Amino acid sequence: MSVRPILRFPDPLLSMPTSKAVQFDAELAALAADLLDTMRAAPGIGITAPHIGVLQRLTVIELDAPSGTKIYVNPEITWSSAETISHAEGSVSMPGITEDVIRPSQVRVRYQTIVGEVKEDEADGLLSICLQHEIDQLDGIFWLQRLSRLKRDRAIKRFAKQGKAADS
């Protein structure tokens, strides 16, 4: 379909909760296709509709070719493990900046497919981390909010410095 512009931190739309998708039609499928193209061009392994300025509960994740592309409409976490995992996270809206985030190591997610079918999957490892990260984004929680104040401030300063270097 097409690569769309990605909103950059600190765009206020990145901190707004999304609305549920209610129309499972060609427009939703086109949005998902645009998200996939945009994510691949970024490059990234996950992206949400808010990253391109659309406040709708839609995320696309593609960890690697063998796993394939996963599209989640209206996803929600219904269970998460007590066991945690730490992993470096970042955002297509804040390229070049990563920090370790601690999250539950496993989750169960209820979502709808692109045609509206309700499903529930369990995930662990990187898929679990990605789902939590992207669902946070759909809830208006930018990944930096999962960091300590010190780590968050350092990441924001690094991003600002990186932007100034690019402008030079």
What one-character DSSP code corresponds to residue 99? E
User: How many angstroms separate the CA atoms of 142 and 134, rounded?
Assistant: 9
120 has catalytic annotation: no
Buried b (16+ CB within 10 A) or exposed e, 129-151: bbbbbbbbbbebbbbbebbeeee
Identify the active-site residue in 76, 99, 120, 134.
134
**Cβ proximity of 126 and 107 under 8 Å:** no
Helix residue ranges, H only, the chain = 26-41, 125-138, 149-167
Catalytic residue IDs: 134
